[in-house]
Structure 1
Amino acid sequence: MIKNIVFDYGDVFINLDKPATVRVLHELGVKDISEEMMNVYKLYEVGGIATGEFVNRFKELYPNIPSHKFIDAWNAILLDFPLHRLDFIKELKASGEYRLFLLSNTNDLHISWIQNDWGMELYNEFKDCFEQFYLSHEINLRKPNLNIYEFVLNENGLLAEETFFIDDTQENTDAAAELGIKVWNIDPLTEDIVDLLAQKEFDE
């Protein structure tokens, strides 16, 4: 029986254009994302370096690109937040049937953009739907590493077999499933989180 639901953020609630950052950087003259830059990104995503240092590392590699253009390219991945999804999560919370959690690989620049784009009132209205709102740069852990799922389970006294996790990335749901968590690898092109309770995986 499912008692706990853990949601990803991007392409579950907020729509993403995942190739956008690479596309915009390419337009700025960055022909290839180096392994060094990917390592810096992963470090930034778990809060290992601050935003200023992250931007400065990029500037060292590409001194001809202004910082504000890099930041705009970095945030180009983020699109809209369909408000019917807010209605859904508010109704799910109001039902009191499940403990609700958010677990996202999200960095400081992205969450700052979301707060500014949505406005803090809407952002907090969404955030308040969850018992815990876990962002990778704040908890220093990232998916698909098993320790992030173990952290959520242990921190909240959850049983894996009573927990359901939704994420659009296959390796993230595969990792959670290794621990016995029930999962839905949602396809953002054909599926919507508002149909969660109708999923066969949720009923199994």
Structure 2
Amino acid sequence: MSSRQIIFSILCILCSAVGLFAIVRRILLGWDGLVWGAFGLMFISAWAAIKIMQHEPLANDTIFRLKDAPQWRELSPLRRRLMMLFDWPLFFAIREREVERLFDQPLTQVVFAPHGVILVPTEEQHTEAYFLTRIAREAGWRGLKVDNAVQGIFGPRWAGAKCVKLTCLGSDDRIWNHARSELIDGGSISLLQFRDALESGYLSTLSVADRYRYYR
């Protein structure tokens, strides 16, 4: 393993151990300085681990190993956690490969709501928080706002949600109305097709001159 992988694993183990200690001590003895210090160390360790992940480039050997790596849905929850802890570059590469499937294949069902739309993954593994976050990130623009995610310390929290609910803000109803005419209620599409529908709706609101500047 690389030195960064070793440091990342140590930080993850430290974060888990210190967090468990803080929770148990809080339950047994209540709040005190040691509990606050333990929680502080837990968050610092988690923050440092996240920074290491964000700044580590994808190595060539990881790209090579990805060719023979199993698909995301073939990994058990335990194996995912172990891979995350001890081989996170490959873990991320496998997960991003699964995100590409969401972009390119019709794996998201479109359900129209009175004032927006609901995007429902058609495969169970895509209802995990990471994939819901990616769906929301790609769909929540051009007048659509995600309304069933709560922002936590380390990102959006879905609280058991199995879909992404988006509300039309009404900034320009023509965008959503145009996009809606291109989508089929209850149909399955790729995220790229959904974005293209919103984008074409936005372009339909522009004048010829603005559209020309947009493509330049």
Q: Give the TM-score band, short-chain normalised.
A: under 0.3
Q: Report the TM-score when normalising by structure 1.
A: 0.27
When you count helix as a share of all residues, which structure comes out higher?
A: 2
**Max radius of gyration: which structure?**
2
Q: Report the TM-score when normalising by structure 2.
A: 0.26
More RCO (CA 8 Å, sep 6+): 1
